[in-house]
Amino acid sequence: MLSPLSAPKPPKRMENNYDVIVVGELNVDLILNHISTFPQIGKEVLARDMQMTLGSSSAIFASNLSTLGAKVLFKGATGNDMFGDFVISELSERGVDTSAIVRNRQLKTGATVAINIEDDRAMVTHPGAMEHYSAEDVDVALLSRAKHLHISSVFLQPALKHNLLTLLSKAKSCNLTTSLDTQWDPAEKWELDLPNVLPLVDVFLPNEAEIKCLTHQPTVESALNQIGRYANTVVVKLGVHGSISYYKGTPNNIPPFLNNAVVDAIGAGDSFNAGFIYRYLSGAPINDCQRFGNVMGALSTTAPGGTGAFTSRAAIMKKAKDHFNYTENDVKR
């Protein structure tokens, strides 16, 4: 467990009821744009633009879900430093309850440097405090105040991954629905006990590369056939090809909403997750959740970083209509 701790600053409200508790990593993203070529060892190249934004899969998900209108509490850890201050401030400004975020004086807040070149990018991450966060830091009393638990980036959080079954079991004992996005494994070992983990996960949200690596299967279809024996709902993000879900033995492809002027794709998958879970919480059919996830993922690419396009719910829905002709009337909760 994390120690020593100090109160997060500035503190955010602690409410009795939440739609979602997010347990995951916290870091800043330093995004370098307008670079002519990837740097080589011993050489220097110039970036004509740089931005610092709220990073991490979990934080982007929480921020965008809150902006859509859900009540969200974040449970995680940062260092007691300027990056930690920035992360907490950004989440708070977007309506996320940050009162359960702990600050560790001996560790640093995580940071990712992203180098964007055209449609490709390279990233380097310092995990910082997130490496030391454990399921033991999440108690039943906190979980009992929510409807849903979302967990992300377990391979960046070895202490959390080690006790993942414990955390999911706690959530189920409190009658929460659950979702999981493992994200990429930097070590590329892909060691996760899927047959025991996924029965406790209501919505599993990998992307195409991740599900193939996790199952050691050559195609998404064969991966879905394998884990479909013990998983509940599986939703695979396919980027410019949309998404495919697998529910009760039936696959369902939903076509993408395409942005022809992509700023960057940082956080697009996390934005998909936010859209999907937002509709899922309202009891919408899986294909409706999927479609809303697709449009939120596409919308994310219209502004820098994972949260730049999510300024307010009204602005989100206006942009969805103007850019992607998404005009369904049932998006209201």
- pTM tops 0.85, yes or no: yes
Among the ranges given (10-19, 20-29, 77-86), the one the predictor scored with the smallest mean pLDDT = 10-19
In a domain, 233, yes or no: yes
- What is the domain count for the chain? 1
> Can you tell me the mean pLDDT for 269-286?
97
> Can you tell me the mean pLDDT for 46-56?
92
Confidence label for 233 from pLDDT (cuts 50, 70 and 90): very high
Measured in degrees and rounded to the nearest 5, phi and psi for residue 282 equal -85, 0
In a domain, 249, yes or no: yes
Question: What are the Cα distances from residue 32, in Å, to 38, 60, 205?
Answer: 11, 18, 28
> Can you tell me the mean pLDDT for 241-259?
95
Helix axes 286-300, 268-281, angle to 10 degrees: 150
> Can you tell me the mean pLDDT for 119-123?
76
Compute the CA torsion angle 194, 195, 199, 203 (nearest 10 deg).
30
Burial of 248 (0-12, 13-18, 19+ CB in 10 A): exposed
> Can you tell me the mean pLDDT for 228-257?
96
> Can you tell me the mean pLDDT for 236-257?
95
Reply yes or no on whether the pLDDT at 329 is more than 90.
no
In a domain, 196, yes or no: yes
Reply yes or no on whether the pLDDT at 5 is more than 80.
no
> Can you tell me the mean pLDDT for 257-279?
94
Burial of 164 (0-12, 13-18, 19+ CB in 10 A): buried
Among the ranges given (25-29, 191-195, 326-330), the one the predictor scored with the smallest mean pLDDT = 326-330
Reply yes or no on whether the pLDDT at 12 is more than 80.
no
The mean of the pLDDT values for the chain is: 91
Reply yes or no on whether the pLDDT at 241 is more than 70.
yes
> What is the DSSP annotation of 191-236?
---HHHHGGG-SEE--BHHHHHHHHT-SSHHHHHHHHTTT-SEEEE
Reply yes or no on whether the pLDDT at 113 is more than 80.
yes
In a domain, 194, yes or no: yes
Angle at 196 between CA 193 and CA 201, to 5 degrees: 105
Give the model's pLDDT for residue 328. 63
Reply yes or no on whether the pLDDT at 142 is more than 80.
yes
Q: What's the CATH number where 310 sits?
A: 3.40.1190.20
The beta strands (E) that lie in the chain are given as: 5-6, 18-23, 27-33, 49-55, 72-75, 77-79, 102-104, 110-117, 120-126, 146-152, 177-181, 203-204, 233-237, 243-247, 250-254
pLDDT tens per residue across span 190-221: 999 999 999 999 999 999 999 999 999 999 99
Confidence label for 305 from pLDDT (cuts 50, 70 and 90): confident
Question: What are the Cα distances from residue 178, in Å, to 137, 181, 223?
Answer: 18, 11, 21
Domain that holds residue 145: 5-26+57-108+129-331
Reply yes or no on whether the pLDDT at 44 is more than 90.
yes
Give the model's pLDDT for residue 271. 98
**CB contact at 8 A, 136 and 167:** no
Which residues have CB under 8 Å from 97's CB, separation 6+?
Answer: 12, 13, 14, 15, 18, 71, 72, 73, 74
CA distance 98 to 289: 27
In a domain, 149, yes or no: yes
Angle at 252 between CA 238 and CA 67, to 5 degrees: 60
CA torsion through residues 244, 293, 124, 116, sign? positive
Give the model's pLDDT for residue 106. 93
In a domain, 265, yes or no: yes
Relative to beta strand 72-75, strand 77-79 is unpaired
Burial of 10 (0-12, 13-18, 19+ CB in 10 A): exposed
CA distance 102 to 79: 8
> Can you tell me the mean pLDDT for 105-116?
92
Reply yes or no on whether the pLDDT at 304 is more than 50.
yes
In a domain, 45, yes or no: no
Reply yes or no on whether the pLDDT at 3 is more than 70.
no
Confidence label for 8 from pLDDT (cuts 50, 70 and 90): very low
**CB contact at 8 A, 301 and 259:** yes
Residue with more model confidence, 74 or 8: 74
In a domain, 113, yes or no: no
